[in-house]
Amino acid sequence: MNEPAASTPPGAARSQPLMSIGEVLGQLRVDFPDTTISKLRFLEAEGLVEPQRTAAGYRKYSWDDVARLRFVLTAQRDRYLPLRVIREQLAQWDSSGEQPERSRPALVAVGPDGAVPGRESAEPAESSQVRLGRAELVARSGIDESTLVELERLGVLVSDPPGWYDADALIIASAVAGLAAYGLEPRHLRGYRSAADREVGLFAQLVAPLARQSDPAARARAAETARELVALSEQLHAALVRVGLRSTLGR
Torsion of CA 229, 231, 233, 238, to 10 degrees: -170
Bridge partners (DSSP) listed for residue 19? 61
For the chain, the C-alpha Rg in angstroms (whole number) is 22
pLDDT tens-digit profile, the chain (251 residues): 444 434 444 444 445 578 888 889 888 988 888 888 888 888 888 888 999 988 888 889 999 899 999 999 988 888 777 788 888 888 888 887 766 655 444 444 444 444 444 444 334 344 556 788 889 989 888 899 999 999 999 889 888 878 889 888 888 998 898 888 888 888 888 888 889 999 999 999 988 988 888 877 777 888 878 888 888 888 888 888 888 988 888 76
Three-state SS for 148?
helix
Three-state SS for 144?
coil
Rounded distance, CA 52 to CA 84, Å? 23
0.75 cut: is pTM over it? no
